Amino acid sequence: MHDIIVRPLGGCGEVGLNATLIEDEGDQILIDCGIGLGLADAPGIERLIPDFSLLSRPGKTLRAVILTHGHEDHIGALPDLFIEHDVPVYGPPLAILFARSRLERRGMPFDHLVSIPIGGRLTVGPFEIEWVRVTHSIPDAAALVIDTRGGRIFHSGDFKIDRHPVDGHTTDVPRLLAIGESGVDLMLSDSTNSEVPGRTRSETDVGVELERIAIEAEGRLVVACFASHMHRLQSLARAAKASGRRLQLFGNALHRGWTIGTRAGHLSVEADLVEDVEKIAKRPGLDTLVVVTGAQGEPRAALGRIALEHALPLGPADRVVLSTSTIPGNEKNVRRVMNALAITGCQVIDDGLRPVHCSGHAHQDEQAELIALVRPKCFVPIHGDRAMLEAHARTARHGGVPRALVIEDGESIVLARGESLRGDVVPMSPRPIDSGERIIEWVDVDARRHIAFSGLVTCAVALSPGDRLAARPVIAMVGLPKSPLLAVRLVELAAAAIDGRIGEDLAERIRVAIKREVKRSVGSRPVVEIQIIRLTVGPDRTSLAQRSREPAEKD
């Protein structure tokens, strides 16, 4: 008997960070390898990656990474994975091109990336995998059929069921129906919009609305969308042509996405329609449709530079269209950009005003439709926070699925002889990455939070060879009210704490004295760092300094 263990490393309990590990004894495959957004309360943390520690256990071999599509929350952590694991990656052609671009930007090799056409099949160790076309907000999106020695697994990837996609490539409903008829033991399915009733809007309908706006607009038209959204970019190219405008691309990520989409054949645009970004400010507004990145409120992205730095002059005759939805957690940043745009007098249009966006993730009716096609014996929702997972499980139960189980990251499902049961739980947490591409420990993230809320005090103490105070202690305060009197008082307290009593508890005595005074004076409990500098005399009678830094306390 073969027990197949299915365990999410990310994407179950949060939005993004999608990665699911499937194990057959010593053989493993990883379905997707995505990033999560940085946390609002974690200063300096730009993104999160899954906890890959399970991939390095003795007796386990990661055979491959299997990609469903090319969005960052499904491929963005590949460079971090490759630092520790040399493993082949298989995925649809566009996903592989985006993965290659990300690796190139990190200066990493990409010869282990292999394109598999939609509809293609592959055997990796004991796993047989098939890619089945689904519609999403990026071309070449696929669901996966994974045949194992314990039963058949269906993984939906990110999907919607768009009857009228821009490129004409609809979800392969006949193949999904055949898969369901042949039997599916375990279904894993995207839960992002599981709380939203009805069906998603068609991408074609959004294209029609964008074309109307382009024709109506009396001045410059700026449209913000995701750089990987090839269908939306194609619609914007059509809108530019219909309104007699030149299409201008503003943003490095957008240029990369455009180049990749053109190379892959997903963008079909006349060469003279697209104009160099340097001519943006030189053309009359009526002649241009400027496509930008930054609809999530990123200050350094193109839309943020337009709104906050006036990189492109806007006025009352101009329109800015936010052709995206706001990712949870980005609301404040988006609102700041919208307010800055409002100051210019331009009209800002989002999906609340006109139908300028549609989700790439299925709503409840489409989720129910996919469940009815696949007809699994057991259903496990993935790709969403807890409320989304629970809502999707309810949809499955209402659809007659015999067994629906909700699990989060680190929990597992065991599939054996076609039966699915709850398995063991491995504690895990995502790994935070800062702007310098460095992995930061959570204890240090907590210290950053503490400093951000309560401030930081550093105290440097120099001791002579006789362990006497060589100079007055030096105090520096960050994130606290400016108070020369408090600074003087802290110097005095540090000196008094020493007072000839040198011992192993010296740093702690100074720290306690400083914390008490700051709490008494300003009501804050800052992080306090003590640096002890011991002066010694070298062979040439010159003074040498031996520094020891006492770690800041972790409250």
Under 8 Å between Cβ of 31 and 66 = yes
* pLDDT tens readout for residues 197-231: 999 999 999 999 999 999 999 889 999 999 899 99
From the list 172, 97, 75, 133, the residue with the least C-alpha distance to 373 is 172
CB atoms within 10 A of CB 400: 9
Q: Which residue has the tokens 């299925």?
A: 362
CATH of region 442-550, choose from 3.10.20.580, 3.40.640.10, 3.20.20.140, 2.40.10.220: 3.10.20.580
The CA distance from 348 to 338, in Å, is 7
384 alpha carbon, distance to own chain's centre: 13
What is the predicted pLDDT for the residue at 554? 46
The C-alpha atoms of residue 169 and residue 161 are separated, in whole angstroms, by 11
457's enclosing H/E stretch is strand 456-463
Residue with tokens 């060879």: 465
User: Which of 338-362 are b and which e, b meaning 16 or more Cβ less than 10 Å from the residue's Cβ?
Assistant: bebbeebebbbbbbeeeebbbbbbb
Amino acid occupying residue 298: E
Q: What is the CATH number of domain 4-198+359-434?
A: 3.60.15.10
Give the domain ranges of the chain: 4-198+359-434, 203-349, 442-550
Q: What is the pLDDT of residue 342?
A: 93
What is the pLDDT averaged over residues 101-125?
A: 94
The fold of 203-349 is: Rossmann fold (3.40.50)
Secondary structure of residue 213 in the 3-state scheme? helix
Segment 374-390 mean pLDDT: 97
pTM for this predicted structure: 0.86
Half-sphere exposure for 507 (CA within 13 Å, toward CB): 17
**Is pLDDT larger for residue 110 or for residue 121?**
121
Position 279 pLDDT exceeds 80: no
- Cβ(431)–Cβ(51) under 8 Å? yes
Q: How far from the centroid of its chain's Cα atoms is residue 397's Cα? A: 30
Answer yes or no: same fold for 4-198+359-434 and 442-550. no
CB 214 within 8 A of CB 221: yes
* Dihedral sign for Cα atoms in the order 161, 163, 167, 170: positive
Is the CB of residue 510 less than 8 Å from the CB of residue 533? no
Looking at per-residue pLDDT, the higher value among 282 and 496 belongs to 496
Backbone phi and psi for residue 396, each to the nearest 5 degrees, phi listed first: -65, -45
For residues 209 and 214, give the distance between their C-alpha atoms in angstroms, rounded to a whole number: 9
